[in-house]
Structure 1
Amino acid sequence: MAPEPAQAQPSADYAILQEAAEWFAVLRGEDASHADQQEWERWHAMSAVHRAAWRRVEAVSAEFRQLPGEAARQALDDAGPRQNDAQRRSLVKGLLALCLTAGLGGAMLLRRDTRSWVASLNATEKTAIGSVRQLALADGSQLWLNTATALDVDYGDNLRRIALHEGEIYIVSARDSRQQARALVVDTVHGRLRALGTRFSVQPQGDTTLLAVYEGRVEVAPRDGGAPRIVPAGQQCRFGDGVIGEPFAVDPNAAAWIEYRLQPEQMRLDDFLAQLSRYRRGHLGCAPEVAHLRLVGSYPLADTDRILAALEATLPVRIHRLHDWWVTVEPLPQNK
């Protein structure tokens, strides 16, 4: 039998983030004392890393409560296209200031650029966190929107265009019925993808966009220049900043989300939890000691808490809940 991998030591980032969450729980408790407040102030002033961890916990708390982010989203939706550019800029500026005052806007602006964020707020097609939706397009193409996805569909005389602002989509493209066939393209902040009779998925991820091609071919053209490249079936690649990364093999189970499930095949636990965290509000973390554990199976996404319970029942881990919105998967306590 192969030896078990050595237990990793908890990273400073993980440990400090947990400390920040624990302090948040203490200070929000009914029995929080003046001494607790003073001790937290000493902890908070100890280093910039502590302060950054505290801001992260506050941002997750605010986002979980959907305030003021959801109010800002609703206000922008209500504004609609009838307002002129100056009115919309004024509204966006005010709402961003509101979010920043509440401590949430900073986290939002770190996650994505302001332009993409505003476009997401005003997108015509959206899914909420934890939702998956199938959409039939006018040309017969089928489009799936993964959790927390925002996009616009613009079918004009010369182009069939999908503008993906955030989230993830899966497309089964159809032939254009018009005599002068229009290209089907997907635009992200990083460039344009042109379908060449295909099934593929697209997911903006920070500084790059991930393209996975399951059938046919897709042409990738980075927004900031660089020669286009055709990616064939069975391959995926990342592109951004004028660069297209080297293709690598597609994970055939990666698109299981269109059937509202995750299907890991020897996937690390930390990678699985990163995927699962996209379908629930709040923070879902993984202790470094158990990150290496591997998962196989099919996990329906209808109830993410049930998935966590299944992990606890089948792996040497426990689910630790500091708050409804702060959950970590940790090793079982050692018997003494």
Structure 2
Amino acid sequence: MNSARRADAESEYLVLQEAAEWFAVLRADDAALADQLEWQRWHDASPSHRAAWRRVEAVSAEFQLLPGEPARIALDEVGPRARNDGRRAAIKGVMLLCLTAGLGGAVFGRRDTRNWLAGLNAQQGTRVGDIRQLVLADGGALWLNTNTSLDIDYTPALRRIALYSGEILITTAQDSQQPARPLVVDVLHGRLRALGTRFTVRTSADATLLSVYEGKVQVEPREGGGTRIVAAGAQLRFDAASIGQPYPLDDNATAWTEHRLMPDQMRLDDFLAELSRYRRGHLGCAPEVAHLRLVGSYPLADTDRILAALAATLPVRVRRLHDWWVTVEAAPLEK
């Protein structure tokens, strides 16, 4: 990381910390009018302050911590059926985001809105931190990583998996029907066609990551740009209009199917970004310790234990401003 990027990262980290600390001050029982006025001055002083505050509010919304009669009324109007539905938490999150910081327009104005809404009503899914394995109708195996949503649609002509969010690993099986039906995975950015294989697909708003462990997979972006066949041992990213260059995959990247992470000389900031997928809230890394390297095996059953292990083996400490706002930073020097 060059000096300019490092400075930007440090600045963003400090502003986020300030925003989280202000949130804690204003939520305290002894918060005074003077605190509110001082926060307002801080909030209005810079666009970066306002952006950081919106991010803290968005994270807090996951935990239903934002007060206010409008939020309570909106949630009550969801109705008893939704309250009993597994999608209630997602619906709550959307409502709270719409009621705070004007984030609703940003969510519903996205090009992938239809994909996102389909994910809320998906047949299959996992919550944050959960991992599931399914047996497909053709005998294949499908693993769903944390916070994943998808539909499975096997028709007389096609075996289709629609992945709306998250990550999956597929081990394909030979189709019992003749002629054999193609097996495809549809994502926001295009279609993947399995050619007798074992592979993972990981989605994000900007691109999809394909990693092929056995066989081959054909990539076809949604908006054209040709196709490419990716062979075992390679991975690449693609978006709706283009396909990136393949590069060697990490054999340990599928350790999540065994409910663990296995970094091999992974940077601490990259490791924490990966770990954050398995817990709610914000998990940050201070720039001064981001370069530290990790190896080993970390069971995902308890992410707090992983953080404790980091503090015991690295020159870092875990700082908790809230249950949902945690940062790993340099341990203080002993006097």
Q: What is the TM-score with the length of structure 2 in the denominator? A: 0.88
Q: Which residue of structure 1 lines up, in the alignment, with residue 246 of structure 2?
A: 247
Question: Number of matched residues?
Answer: 315
Where does 1:161-172 land on structure 2 (aligned, <5 Å)?
161-172=160-171
Task: Name the SS of the counterpart of 2:203 in structure 1.
Answer: strand
Q: Which residue of structure 2 lines up, in the alignment, with residue 50 of structure 1?
A: 49
Q: C-alpha separation between the residues in 1 aligned to 2:111 and 2:65?
A: 18
| Aligned residues of 1:290 and 1:317 also touching (Cα < 8 A) | yes
- 1:153-207 CA-to-partner distances (Å, cap 9, x unmatched) read 0000100000000000000000001121000000001010011110000011221
Provide structure 2 residue ranges, at least 5 long, that are not aligned to the other structure: 1-5, 84-90
Post-superposition offset of 1:227: 1.2
| Aligned residues of 1:59 and 1:107 also touching (Cα < 8 A) | no
Provide structure 1 residue ranges, at least 5 long, that are not aligned to the other structure: 1-7, 80-92
CA gap 1:105/1:52 in 2 versus in 1, 3 angstroms = same
Post-superposition offset of 1:37: 1.3
Q: What is the TM-score with the length of structure 1 in the denominator? A: 0.87
Q: Which residue of structure 1 lines up, in the alignment, with residue 86 of structure 2?
A: none
Q: Which one-letter code corresponds to 2:99 in the other structure?
A: T
Q: Which residue of structure 2 lines up, in the alignment, with residue 202 of structure 1?
A: 201
The 4+ residue runs of structure 1 with deviation greater than 3 A are 74-79, 95-99, 102-112
- 1:203-233 CA-to-partner distances (Å, cap 9, x unmatched) read 1122110000000000001110011110000
Q: Which residue of structure 2 lines up, in the alignment, with residue 26 of structure 1?
A: 25
| Aligned residues of 2:214 and 2:231 also touching (Cα < 8 A) | yes
Q: Which one-letter code corresponds to 2:58 in the other structure?
A: A
| Aligned residues of 1:111 and 1:206 also touching (Cα < 8 A) | no
Post-superposition offset of 1:145: 0.3
Q: Which residue of structure 1 lines up, in the alignment, with residue 112 of structure 2?
A: 113
Q: C-alpha separation between the residues in 1 aligned to 2:29 and 2:163?
A: 44
Where does 1:278-297 land on structure 2 (aligned, <5 Å)?
278-297=277-296
Which range is displaced more, 114-123 or 98-107? 98-107
Q: C-alpha separation between the residues in 2 aligned to 1:192 and 1:208?
A: 12
Q: Which one-letter code corresponds to 1:101 in the other structure?
A: L
CA gap 1:76/1:51 in 2 versus in 1, 3 angstroms = farther
| Aligned residues of 2:199 and 2:213 also touching (Cα < 8 A) | yes
RMSD: 2.7
CA gap 1:154/1:66 in 2 versus in 1, 3 angstroms = farther
Q: Which residue of structure 1 lines up, in the alignment, with residue 12 of structure 2?
A: 13
Q: C-alpha separation between the residues in 2 aligned to 1:230 and 1:172?
A: 17
Task: Name the SS of the counterpart of 2:173 in structure 1.
Answer: coil
Post-superposition offset of 1:113: 2.5
Task: Name the SS of the counterpart of 1:11 in structure 2.
Answer: helix
Q: Which residue of structure 1 lines up, in the alignment, with residue 273 of structure 2?
A: 274
Q: Which residue of structure 2 lines up, in the alignment, with residue 100 of structure 1?
A: 98
